[in-house]
Structure 1
Amino acid sequence: MSELAKNVRRYRRAAGLSQEDLAAASDLAARTVQKVEQGGTVRTETLHAIARGLGVPTSQLFVAGSPAPVVEDETTRRSLVPIRMALMPPVGLDGVIADRAPLSDTSVDLRQRILDVHTLYRADQFESVATQLPILLRQTEAAVSAASGKERRRATVTRALALLVSGKYLTQVRQYDLAYQALSEGIRLARDVEDRHTAAVGVVGLGWLLLRQDRFAECYQLAVTTAEAMEPRMADADSARVGLWGELWMRAAASAVRDNRPEDAKQARRMAARAAAGMSREDRHFPSTWGGFGPVKVSIKSIEDVLVKGQSVSDARQVVARSTRGVLEARSMRKLGFPAEGADWHRHRLDLSLAYTVLGSHQDAMDELSGIKVSGAEWIRHQPMARRVMGDILRSRKRTLTRDMRDMAAYLGIVG
């Protein structure tokens, strides 16, 4: 029996609940609770529901134990060897053993090239990003070594930005240890030269990584501590400072709702909304913010919370209804703009596709998946939720699958 299964059983018994009682409290089927306690594989959302039923943070259900075997994406892993070499070179008795990159650009030129690569990332041009990042990482490292005085500080910040973009890409493709290496080093460098804003942008990115690893309590503490340190004076702060502050509170909210801490989540969402209220449009600029911030982004992330907390028919209806209300109404969207990064809008559409699947509206779910594929073909291939939604459609659809459904299943690598 796994440690997770043991913990669920232990907390259930301590609360004096039967499996049926816990299932009712968690809004789950009794067989789902049985599956968890027998060590079966379940979704993270199911664990959130069980934690709510038990009245404990989700993180308390996870303890150290023997890890399950990791199924690697061999193609992705091999394509990242150059980035791994740049981030984690071999170290010998005399220091790092690696070829030095030629220093062909100034810090200003390197910064612009980093921003160009970030633009490619936003456009889901992952292959181009993976090709260019190793060169930039080596060249920014060489630039810091060659610089002195004020130029060294500028070169160090540029190096930090290269590391943050690397961490963003690596988190997206689920190479978490490499991502941590890049993000933590980027934060450290920015902090060392007293560029607190760039360091805090990196903290937002690190919070995203911690969320991906189900490290909810750590993410919440990191985000709140940093937000409190970076709180702007709303009367005279520029949009970049306000947007960064709002992003930090969104990280806090996302971690709190996943950790079954509703009051903390409500307070964090309130602070994020306060930040968004002071902005007339979405802030789409990196590196002033990590992934952009504004009223639209706050709204779609609060909708995401609904499906994290529950996936009942009523939850799904609420998600669909809210997707065209308020700032998400077409006229408001034209005025405010879309979120800076396509991934945020793609994720929102994935939430909609999941809601439609819960409602049994398979064609509506497919329309959302197909729309994402048009503008984010590479992005969607890295999304477990997309595979889960497509798998649910395959399992629950009674009629013959359409050609689009068969093609999407094949694209996402789903069989049966």
Structure 2
Amino acid sequence: MFNVLCMEFKRLFRSRMVWILCAASLVVALLLCVMVVDNVSYGRRDDPEAKIGLEAVAAVKEAYRPLYGAVTPEKLESAFETYINTSNAYEEKMPASVYKEKIVPIQPALSWIFSAFDDSEITSADEVGGFYAQRLRNIENQLADKYANAPQAKQAALALNSRVETPFNYAYGYGDTSPDIIVLLLLVLGLFCTAMAAPVFSADYHSRADDIQRCTRYGRGRLGAARSLAVLILVLAIAVVSMGVYLIILNSIFGWEGLSSSLQTAFVAWGIAPMNVGDMVRMTFFAGILTLLATASCSLFVSSRCKSPTTALIISFCVTLLPVFLGFAGVNVKWLYALLPSGGTAIENSFYYALTLNSLEFLHLGSFTLWLPYAYILFAAVEIPLFILLTILSHKKREAY
């Protein structure tokens, strides 16, 4: 079996397309790093002294430093009072210099306040002192609207929220700006992995090389298993290297201390995921790998059923992009996204968003309740061996024509 696996690796790396896709995945990761850094700005657009890129990262980090540490009611009250006093001092547009000096350093605190209070009107800075109580009321109100007929989902959400540590902890980092670009990286990697996996079996069916392979001692079951395993190992390596390079570069630029921030300070204050930004990054990394492996496994199964590599590619790309198409069409069936092998890369319905901005989403059926991020991980972990088994059986039982 090991010898067959080694031969399949040699066969994969003889393909120029495999080398191109491996190099392209690394290039895309580097380009997205540049995109994230370029999106950082310090100051308003009409400010001639506004900074962007690496200069902005250093300036923003220094400006936000007074907010580092525990997010206390006192810090929030002070930030909101500064905001009100500065806003009331100008009847028209606030000068860019004043905005940069007074408002920019408290922007994170303002986003936490407005997120927790949502549409509730804040009449005084004293009300901001009840930040954590208001955050809980906001969560309860959203759950009451979302799960009026599913009390078990509401209870599960409140139980998960009870594990969130308060007061929140904050430090500027990668989570403060464009962290959702990793979803785009996973989508591109999914397409690359699909392009590598789709022709693996169908190309030999098309060239009739499979007829000869079946006459050999290990040309059926073992060959199918070795070929599938070789592709999955290659996909795993591409995913680890590309995402690893992406995350290491960005966290080195923005500062590793940002990983200690509470997840609620990087996204929405009413998020119920009991973790910090570092935990989110690790879970997204792990779930991304599972999603890519599940996507590749599905493509292998399609390849084992198709006589033409072109047909296998078209069907595999359609399956990979189906969650994205469904999202653009406005289909919001969470069960469907969780069950699709590439559902974890479905942009707004991805695992990343289920963990951060959509953390109140639960799958519920009768008394059964499952938090959506857990569902993505569970279903992907089940689909990988399932599709590989189906691929091996399909290849083994295929008759020569």
Give the TM-score of the pair, scaled to structure 1. 0.22
Give the TM-score of the pair, scaled to structure 2. 0.23
| Larger radius of gyration between Structure 1 and Structure 2 | 2
Q: Which structure has the higher relative contact order (CA within 8 Å, separation 6+)?
A: 2
